Amino acid sequence: MKKTRYIALLLGAFALATVTSCKVGKKYARPEMALPERIDSASTLPDTFSIADMQWWTVYTDTILQNLITQTLEHNKDMLAASARIKELAALRRVDLSKIFPQINGRIYADKDATNYGGDNYESDPELHARALLSWEVDLWGKLRWGAERSKAQLLEAIENQRALQVSLVAQVAQSYYELIALDHQLAIVKQTLHAREEGVRLARLRFEGGLTSETSFQQARVELARTATLVPDLERSIAIKKNEIALLTGTFPREIARQTDRHINRLPQYLPAGLPSALLERRPDVRAAEKALMAANAEVGIAFTSMFPQITLTAEFGMESNDIKNIFQSPAHFLSGTLLTPLFNMGKNISQHKAKKAAYERSVYLYEKQVLVAFKDVHDAIVTYNMSEEVFDTRQKLEQAAYSNNQLAHLQYINGYISYLDVLDAQRGYFDAQISLNEAILGKQLAFIQLYKALGGGWQ
C-alpha cells in the first residue's frame, strides 16, 4: 500500500508540475522595418507575381544546362555537407526535446562484501539489485522548452542555408556554362581573325614582291598575325579552367563539358515582375536564415533568463534487492527523492550571462536588418543591370555591323590600291574589337538575367 501511495504521489507531482509550469521569457517577434512600397521603383503598380516563383528548369530551358544543374544539386560536395549538417541538427533537436520528458533507465548489478577479522571469522554479504530508475527535471520556468526552441531554430536556419546554397549553385552553374560558351565563341572569333591575318600576310607579300608596296606594310602584317596568334593559347587555357570549374561544381573530377554550339540571341523583355517587398523576405533564403538565427538568439536569452530560477529534479527508483538470488522477486525496494537547485551566490555569473545573451540578440537583430537591406540592394542592382543589358546589346550589335561593312570596304580598296595597309589594319582591329564587344554584350544579357533571378530568391522550391 505504501508503494502504491508513493507512486500516486509521484505521478501527482509530475502532473501538477506539468500543469502549473510556465515559460518565462520574451516571445519572439520579427523586427519591424519600414519596407519600400515597391521593389522596382520604375514600376508604377505593385507586382503580385515574381519571376522567382518560376521553377529553375522552366527558366533555364537548355537541356544540357539543366543536366549540369541537376548533377550539381545531387553531387556538389558543399550541398552534401549542408545536408549532413541538417541531419546532425535534426538529431540534436531530438536530444534537447527529450530533456523535457522523464528519463527511464534500468540497472541490474550485484556486489559482494566479505570480511575475515582475525583470519577465522569469514563473513560474506552478497547483494543483488534490479532497479528501474526514473528521473525528471521539472521544467517549471521553461528553460528546457527554450532549449528545444533554440534547437528548432538552428535546424530551420540550416535548412534555409542549404536553400541559399542551392540558389547560389544554380546561378553559379548557369553563369559558368554561359561563360564557357562565350569563351568558345571568342576563340572562334580569334581563329577567324587569325585566318584573315594569314590572308593579309599573303597579300602583303605579293604586293611587296611585286613592287606595289614597301616592306613596312609586309612586316606590319606579320606583326598583326603574330599578335593575334598569341590570343589562342590564353583562350584555350581559360576554356580548360572554366570546364574544370564546372566539373568541381558538379562534384566530379576534371572532364569534358558538353555545351551548345549554336548561340541564340534572345531578346529579353523590357520588364520582368519582381514581386512584393514583403514577399522578397519570404523568398530569399538568406534572409530567412538570418531570421532563424535571430529566433535562436532569442531562445538563448530565454535559457539564460530561466537559469536564474530554481531548478527541481525528481528521482525515483523501483525494483528488487536481496542477498539471495532465490528471494530477489520477493524483496521489493524503492527510493524517492526531490532536489531543489537554485543559484545562491555566484558573483553575478547568471546575471552577466543573461546580459551577454541579450547583447548577442541585439547583434542578431542588426545582422538580420542588414541582410534585408542587402537583399533589396541586390535586387535593385540586378534590375538596373538587366534593364541596361538590352540597350548595351543593341548599340554593340550596330557597332559590329558597321565595323564589318568598314572592314569589307577597306579590304576592297586596299586590293585596288586606294588605301594603305595601315588603313586595312585599323579596319580589321575595329571589326575584331566590335566582335569581341558584341560577344561580351550577349554574355552580359545572360548574366543579368541570372543575377536578377538569383537576387529575387529564385532557384529553390
Domain range summary for the chain, segments of one domain joined by +: 1-24+103-138+311-342, 31-100+140-308+349-455
Rounded Cα gap, residues 165 and 82, in angstroms? 8
Per-residue pLDDT of the chain (461 residues; tens, 9 = 90+): 455 555 555 555 554 555 456 778 889 999 999 888 887 755 544 567 788 889 999 999 999 999 999 999 999 999 999 999 999 999 999 999 998 888 888 888 777 787 777 777 777 777 787 888 888 888 888 899 999 999 999 999 999 999 999 999 999 999 999 999 999 999 999 999 999 889 888 888 887 778 777 788 888 889 989 999 999 999 999 999 999 999 999 999 999 999 988 776 666 666 677 777 888 888 999 999 999 999 999 999 999 999 998 888 888 888 787 777 777 777 787 777 878 777 777 788 889 999 999 999 999 999 999 999 999 999 999 999 998 999 999 999 999 999 999 999 998 998 888 888 888 889 999 999 999 999 999 999 999 999 999 999 999 87
Q: DSSP 3-state assignment of 42?
A: coil
- Assess if CATH 2.40.50.140 describes domain 31-100+140-308+349-455: no
- As beta bridge partners, residue 126 has 112
Architecture of domain 1-24+103-138+311-342: Single Sheet (2.20)
- Angle between helix 231-249 and 215-229 (nearest 10): 10
